Amino acid sequence: MKKLTVNLEKLKKIRKSKMTLKEISTSLGYQSPNGYYYLESGRSKFTADTLAQVSIILNVPLIDLFCEVEDHERTDKINI
């Protein structure tokens, strides 16, 4: 069975091509870059609202931030 997950590697690559960690953190209202870093690194989970804001800030379709993985597959991607 496949499930849809946030593709953290792709998200980081897109973000790095457009803005710094500090810039996106500020755009999302974080006091420091750590708040967003924890999301992008998989240490914390994205809320649907935050992921939608990220797609708007980065000007990419929300669906482009996801990928399908096998349910049993363990990767550096997270579920939301």
> What is the domain extent for residue 33?
2-70
Contact 42, 8 (CB under 8 A): yes
Q: Does residue 26 fall inside a structural domain?
A: yes
> For the chain, which ranges sit under pLDDT 70?
72-80
Q: How many distinct structural domains can be found in the chain?
A: 1
pTM of the model: 0.82
The CA distance from 24 to 19, in Å, is: 7
Contact 71, 42 (CB under 8 A): no
Per-residue model confidence (pLDDT) at position 80: 55
Q: Does residue 78 fall inside a structural domain?
A: no
Q: Does residue 76 fall inside a structural domain?
A: no
Per-residue model confidence (pLDDT) at position 77: 56
The CA distance from 31 to 51, in Å, is: 18
Q: Does residue 41 fall inside a structural domain?
A: yes
CATH of the domain at 11: 1.10.260.40
How far is the first Cα of the chain from the last one, in angstroms, to the nearest whole number? 16
